Amino acid sequence: MRILLVEDEKLLAKEVLFYLEKDEIICDWASNYAEASEQLAVNQYDFVLLDLGLPDGDGMDLLSESKTNQKHALVIILTARSDIKDRVMGLEMGADDYLSKPFSFLELKARMQAILRRKSGWNKEKINIGAFLLDLDSWTVGFQGEKIVLTKKEFSLLHFLLIHPNRVINRFQLAEHIWGDHLEDDYQSNYIDVHIKNIRKKLGNYASVKWLETVRGVGYKIKT
């Protein structure tokens, strides 16, 4: 997979590139409009991660260019701008998703996977974990043909952990994934423990859930 990252903040770009390249993704970086425009004209990309606030132009114009020159590229807008109009306009102009800064790499990866699934018709994808089968189409967990009912939040948490196997995901990252940023206090990060407890209880009635590990004081990880 080849990605173009359009980001004028050098430090942020460096971290995103580092993270993506670890997953063996080929990444190009453009730090301004002119560079990005050139890259879009020359190369073929699967994904364009686009920051709207560029020093020499508006990211929205670049989005149009991307849609003209890179018809098959999927676009995620990454921006620290708060204007709802930008979001609506971006999506109306063909962006596939919109991620507000500051974002988590894990969230970015989850969004990219979701878009790929959606665009390529992989919605019927099923993921195995231990003796269980996650059905992403029906949002259910199966065990030897039997359906185990999880709440939406529980399923979302389990899926998020599964996208990032063998990696510690802290409570804040999990909380942000399922609740967003607009609860006033930090209680929601403690509520993650409750959901994990419920997931363990529900799945534990059928088979071992040792693959779902607790990292004390930090978060959780799925060991495969």
In terms of CB distance, is 194 or 207 closer to other proteins? Answer: 194
Residue 144 contacts other proteins per CB under 8 A = no
Q: Which residues are CB-neighbours of 106 under 8 A, at least 6 positions away?
A: 160, 163, 164, 167, 169, 173, 177
Residue 55 contacts other proteins per CB under 8 A = no
One residue of 68, 123, 151, 208 binding other proteins per CB under 8 A: 151
- CA atoms 122, 73, 13, 29: torsion sign: positive
Residue 209 contacts other proteins per CB under 8 A = no
Residue 83 contacts other proteins per CB under 8 A = yes
For 20-36, give the DSSP string.
HHHTT-EEEEE-SHHHH
Residues β-bridged to residue 214:
220
Helix ranges restricted to H, 23-137: 33-42, 59-69, 84-92, 105-120
One residue of 183, 204, 208, 224 binding other proteins per CB under 8 A: 183
At closest approach, how far in Å is the CB of 197 from other proteins? 8
Residue 156 contacts other proteins per CB under 8 A = no
Site size toward other proteins (CB under 8 A) is: 53
Residue 210 contacts other proteins per CB under 8 A = no
From 38-46, 68-76, 123-131, 211-219, span contacting other proteins (CB under 8 A): 211-219
One residue of 32, 43, 69, 100 binding other proteins per CB under 8 A: 100
Q: Find out whether 141 and 203 touch, Cβ atoms under 8 Å.
A: yes
One residue of 126, 167, 210, 223 binding other proteins per CB under 8 A: 167
One residue of 197, 204, 208, 214 binding other proteins per CB under 8 A: 197
What is the spatial distance between Cα 122 and Cα 108, in angstroms, rounded to a whole number?
18
At closest approach, how far in Å is the CB of 172 from other proteins? 5
CA nearest neighbour of 7 among 84, 108, 135: 108
Strand order across the 219-222 sheet:
169-170, 219-222, 212-215
